[in-house]
Amino acid sequence: MAHALGALASVSPSVAADASLRKTGFKINNNLSYNNKLWIPLSPVNLKSRFSSTKYRCKVVSMSVQQTVRSKIPVQPLELENAKEPPLNLYKPKEPYTATIVSVERLVGPNAPGETCHIVIDHGSNVPYWEGQSYGVIPPGENPKKPGSPQNVRLYSIASTRYGDSFDGKTTSLCVRRAVYYDAETGKEDPSKNGVCSNFLCDSKPGDKILLTGPSGKIMLLPEEDPNATHIMIATGTGVAPFRGYLRRMFMEAVPTYKFGGLAWLFLGVANSDSLLYDDEFTGYLKDYPDNFRYDKALSREQKNKSGGKMYVQDKIEEYSDEIFKLLDGGAHIYFCGLKGMMPGIQETLKRVAEERGESWDTKLSQLKKNKQWHVEVY
């Protein structure tokens, strides 16, 4: 699995602020204030009435402490909360839904290896989904292995909540890394071997049409029975997509039926600081919800692990292993999303840590799966 609208009139007011939204993590709306200022006055203390002698007379300075609170953003339609089961396969490869590209924005800085884009798509409220699900995308053109047939479906984890980046239930977002092939001998790019769908998406323009299938997937759905649960999220690169959706639902959106009061802990592994995805959003949550959110980054080309090698997510997991194991023993959910190559190193680390604790990792993993605490989506 890869991870991965000229704006229509019905959504254009919301989409206009999209670029700002993703930079700041919050959408501009002239009718709402997201920086309510609360003043906590400290009353002056009159010591003179207590001590009649001027010997004990003190001057007390009255102070005000300013605290900035960012309001959550209203979402609609709230009917999207009513379904008891997630929507599944509403559109299939033989009859896909034709959606429209709203915007394509480069997410990474100039020193990032490769290009990753945030793509907003208008589905007109016709392809609803839940956080943690995926869409299928059918790129244009003919299937090279089946002449006369359309291209195969490519799956992309959805990077937004069910309300989308415009908070109105009409859009979805994908996080897509452009797949580029370089010849091993010449070192030059070979366009004939580049990823068909990722390049189609990253090259798209507002107003372009896109064929969607799905939504699909249940393994990465966010369990909401306990709003005070702990969720440990481990991502490499664009595998952060579903976690962006979780975190927006937890910390950005005002959803009357879901008021998160637990702990969300995100581990994100990328090459360097320029490769960080949605970092402004995540650091904003860290500032606003320090008791409910933790955020650890593994920057393989900038940080060293304890052995002096490159820092990968499994090294961060090992660093906090005691805490993570205690949280898992207490019922925490743990999620993994990204390239399948991430899992062997993570599994080896968890097995080693378990053995050091005198536990059998196979037994523990079996129990986590049985309790539905273990969620993996790799591609």
> What tokens does 63 get?
């102070």
User: Which member of 117, 175, 197, 337 is catalytic?
Assistant: 337
Identify whether 377 is a catalytic site residue: yes
C-alpha closest to that of 18 among 9, 10, 8, 28 = 28
Identify whether 360 is a catalytic site residue: no
Q: How many CB atoms lie within 10 A of CB 16?
A: 15
User: Which member of 156, 285, 289, 335 is catalytic?
Assistant: 156
Identify whether 295 is a catalytic site residue: no
User: What are φ and ψ of residue 183, in 5° steps?
Assistant: -65, 130
Q: Is 87 exposed, middle or buried (0-12, 13-18, 19+ CB in 10 A)?
A: middle
Q: Is 185 exposed, middle or buried (0-12, 13-18, 19+ CB in 10 A)?
A: exposed
CA distance 130 to 288: 25
CA distance 270 to 238: 9
User: Which member of 34, 97, 320, 379 is catalytic?
Assistant: 379
> What tokens does 170 get?
């009409």
Identify whether 379 is a catalytic site residue: yes
C-alpha closest to that of 315 among 323, 305, 325, 324 = 305
Q: Which positions make up the binding site for NADP(+)?
A: 157, 177, 238, 300-301, 310, 338-339, 377
Q: How many CB atoms lie within 10 A of CB 347?
A: 14
First vs last Cα of the chain: how many Å apart? Answer: 4
Q: How many CB atoms lie within 10 A of CB 158?
A: 29
- Look up residue 78 and give its DSSP letter: G
CA distance 190 to 180: 8
**What is the amino acid identity at position 159?**
A
| Chain centre to alpha carbon of residue 289 | 16
The secondary structure of the chain in percent helix, strand, coil, rounded to multiples of 5, reads 25, 25, 45
CA distance 82 to 90: 17
User: Which member of 157, 160, 173, 204 is catalytic?
Assistant: 157
- DSSP line for 298-309: EETTT-B-TTSS
Identify whether 156 is a catalytic site residue: yes
Which helix (H) or strand (E) segment holds residue 338: the answer is strand 333-338
Catalytic sites, residue numbers: 156-157, 337, 377, 379
